Chains A and B, each alone.
Chain A
Amino acid sequence: MSSLLDVRDLSVAFDTAAGRFNAVQSVDLTVASGEVLCVVGESGSGKSVSVLAVMGLLPPTGRVTSQEIRFRGEDLRTATPRARRRLIGRDVAMVFQEPTSSLNPCYTIGWQIGEALRVHGATAPSQVRRRVLDLLGQVGVPAPEQRMRSFPHQLSGGLNQRVMIAMAIACDPALLIADEPTTALDVTVQQGVLDLLVGLQRDRGMGLVLITHDMGVVAQTAQRVQVMYAGQVMEEQPADPLFAHPRHPYTAALLDALPERAEGKLRLPTIPGMVPGIDDRPGGCLFAPRCRFTTPKCTADRPALRPVNGAKVRCHYPLDDAGQPTGWTLGGST
C-alpha cells in the first residue's frame, strides 16, 4: 500500500478575542491508498480543524503550521493555489457533517454535482448529465431523473448526504475525507449512509478518513484508529488490537461507554467532565483532570506520543493487556 496523505506535526492556532487558542497540536496523519482511517474523539477535540487545515478550508483566523503536508508526495504547503485546487476536489474530496446547509440552496443538486465534473475537466453537457445520473444511482438516490432537478431544501438530510457523497466521488478521488457524515442524520438512515461510504471505499479502493465521535462507527469501519483529545493524538493503533487492548486510559474510557460493552451494568458509563476548551487546558497531560489514574506526574509533565507494543500512546502509564497502567503507583513514581 502506497502512502496517499502524509501530514507531520500539524498545528492550528486560532486568534480569538481571548487570545491564542491551539485547537490542534502537533498532529500526524497518514493514510495509505485503500485504507480506512478512523479519527475518533469527543466533540471539540480538533478532528474537524485538522482535516480542514489539510484541505486548506479553514477561515483566515486559523494559523496552520506543519513539518509537511504531502499528497502522493506532492507538498501541498508549497504548491501554487492553482495546483492545490487541482488536487482538492478532484483527488481529495470531502463530505461534511451538515448535508443540507453544505449544499447551495440556490442551485439544483444535479447542477451542483455537475459543477464538480465541469470544473475538473470540462465535458459536454450531455455527458455531464449522464455522469450525474450515474452518480446519483451509485449513491442510492431513488428516481435520479427527477431528483437531479430538486433543490436541497426539497430533500431529506439523508438524501442530501448521499448527494454530497455523489459530488465528492464525482471526479474519482483517491482520498475521501468524511467529517462526521452521519452525526446530523436521522438515526434510521445513519447506517445506510455509513454502509454506502464503506462500500464505495471498498469498490473504488479509495483511502477513507472517517471522522466520528462514535466508537460504534469505528468498530464497524476502521482499519486503523487515531484517538484525538483536546487537539492532540492520544493513541494510534490498528483497529483490532485497539479494541482488544486500548493503551490509553481515554481510549479505554471511550470503549467502556459502548453500549455492547456495558452489558449487565445499570447505566452506561460515561467519562465525567468535558474536553478542556480555551481557558481550562491543564499544563500536564490534557486528559489528567478526567483520568482515573492521574498522578502528580501527570499534572506536571505533558507526555509525548511514544511507541508501546505496536501502538503509539501519549501516556505516562500506558495500559497493559489486562487494562492496568504500567509502572503506576498511587503516589506517581515510575
Chain B
Amino acid sequence: MIRHFARRLALIVPTLVGVTLLGFILVHAVPGDPVEVRTGERGISPERLAYFRHELGLDQPLWKQFADYEWQLLHGNLGRSLVTQESVWTEFTTFFPATLELGICALTFALVIGLPLGVIAAVRRGSALDYGLIGISVTGASMPIFWWGLMVILVFSVALGWTPVSGRIDELYYIEPHTGFLLIDSLFFSDDKGAFISTVRHLILPTIVLGTIPLATIARMTRSAMLEVLGEDYVRTARAKGLAPSRVVVVHALRNALIPVVTVLGLQVGALLGGAILTETVFSWPGVGHWLVESVQRRDYNVLQGGTLLIAILVMLVNLGVDVLYGVLNPRLRR
C-alpha cells in the first residue's frame, strides 16, 4: 500500500513536466500571439511590434522560452497574466471557487439521483423501469453539453421563465467574497435573504447540465455493480439472517457495490472539469473554465499554461484522494 503511493507520487513530477510541455506546445501552436491579437486590425508599426514582443520575451527561441518558464515554475512562480498583469495564481484563486461550487453541486446532484436510480434498476432488473432507466442513462452519458445547455436555457429560462440565463447571482446584489462560495457567502455574510435565493436559482441549470453525464455514468455503474453484488453469497447470508430487504440492499449489497462506483467517480472528476469549461461558457459562469476560454482568445500564454498546470495538479490530487478512499472502502486491501 505504502509502496503503491510512493510510486504514484514519484510519477507526479514527470507527469507535470509532460503537462507543461504539452501545454506550451499547444498554446504556441495556436496562430497569432498576444501582441498581434491585441493590436487587432488597426495595425502597428513593425518596430512597436518588435518592442512589445521583446518585452514579453516572445523574441527568444521557443526552447529558451520553455526553459525559462520551467525555471520560474521550479521557484513556484506561475507568472503574470499578459493581459491584466495580475499574478496567475491570484486570478486562479479568484475564479476557482465558482468552478468548485458548481462542480460540487453537479456531483452531488449526480450522486443523489444516480445512485438510487442504479440501485432501483438493479433490484427491479428486467422491469420496464429498468429498461427506462438504462435508456435514459445511455442518452444522458452521451449528451453534448453545449446543446444540452442551450436546450435547458430555451425551455426553463426563455419559454418558462423559471430560472435566470447566466451568471452566478443577480446583478443587484454585491456579495463580498469571504469563502468565494456564493452559497455560503450569500447565506452567512449577507443580510439580504434574496441574495441566497438568487444564488440557488442561478445554480440550478448549470448544475443539471454539468451533472447529467456523471449522473448517467453513476447510475449505469451502480446498476451493473449492484447486479453483480446481489448474486453474491453474502447477500444470501444477509437474507438468511432475516434482515429487511431494504437493509440487505443498502447495508450489504450497496456497501460493496460502492467500491467500483467510487473508482469511476474519481475518473469522472477529470471529465467533470472538461464539462465545466463548456458549461461555464454556456452560462457565462465566472469560473476557471470561463477564464481559460477568454485567455485562449487573448492568447494569454501564462494564464493558459498556468491554468492547465493547476487543473492537472488538481485532477492528480483528486485521483490520489480516490485511491485513499478506495483503500478505506475496501477492507480486503488490508492485511
Residues of A within 8 A of B (CB): 55-57, 59, 81, 85-90, 93-94, 96, 98, 101-107, 115-116, 119-120, 151, 153-154, 164, 167
Contacts and interface: CB of A to CB of B under 8 A. Distances in A.
B241 A151 contact: no
B256 A94 contact: no
Interface of B: 231-234, 236-245, 247, 252, 255-256, 329-332, 334-335
A153 B335 CA distance: 9
A103 B242 contact: no
B240 to A, nearest CB: 5
Contacts of B240: 55, 57, 88-89, 93-94, 96
B243 A151 contact: no
Contact of A106 (B233, B236, B243, B255): B255
A106 B256 contact: yes
A175 to B, nearest CB: 13
A255 to B, nearest CB: 32
**6 nearest interchain CB pairs?**
A89-B242, A85-B242, A101-B233, A89-B241, A104-B234, A102-B233
Chain B facing A: main interface SS? helix
Contacts of B335: 154
B242 A86 contact: yes
A236 B238 CA distance: 32
Contacts of B332: 105, 151, 153
Contacts of A101: 232-234
Contacts of A164: 237
Nearest to B125: A60
Nearest to B232: A101
Given A115-B241, A119-B243, 18 more contacts: A55-B240, A57-B236, A57-B240, A81-B245, A87-B242, A88-B240, A88-B242, A90-B242, A94-B240, A102-B237, A104-B238, A105-B331, A106-B331, A119-B242, A151-B332, A153-B331, A167-B237, A167-B241
B114 to A, nearest CB: 21
A74 to B, nearest CB: 15
Nearest to B259: A106
Contact of B334 (A86, A93, A151): A151
B242 A105 contact: no
A164 B233 CA distance: 12
Nearest to A82: B244
B326 to A, nearest CB: 13
A315 to B, nearest CB: 35
Among B232, B242, B252, the one with the most A-chain Cβ atoms within 10 Å of its Cβ is B242
A56 B329 CA distance: 31
29 contacts: A57-B240, A85-B242, A86-B242, A87-B242, A88-B240, A89-B240, A89-B241, A93-B240, A96-B233, A96-B236, A96-B237, A98-B233, A101-B234, A103-B234, A103-B237, A104-B234, A104-B238, A105-B332, A106-B256, A115-B241, A116-B241, A119-B241, A119-B247, A120-B242, A151-B332, A151-B334, A153-B331, A154-B334, A154-B335
Nearest to B241: A89
Contacts of B236: 57, 96, 102
Contacts of B237: 96, 102-104, 164, 167
A57 B243 CA distance: 12
A184 to B, nearest CB: 11
A98 B245 CA distance: 22
Nearest to A59: B231
A89 B239 CA distance: 8
Contacts of A151: 331-332, 334
B125 to A, nearest CB: 9
A94 B242 CA distance: 11
A304 B239 CA distance: 35
A115 B244 CA distance: 12
Among A56, A90, A94, A164, the one with the most B-chain Cβ atoms within 10 Å of its Cβ is A94
A295 B234 CA distance: 46
A332 B243 CA distance: 54
Nearest to A81: B245
A115 B240 CA distance: 12
B306 to A, nearest CB: 42
Contacts of B330: 106
Contacts of A98: 233
Contacts of B243: 85, 89, 115, 119
B235 to A, nearest CB: 8
Contacts of B241: 88-89, 115-116, 119, 167
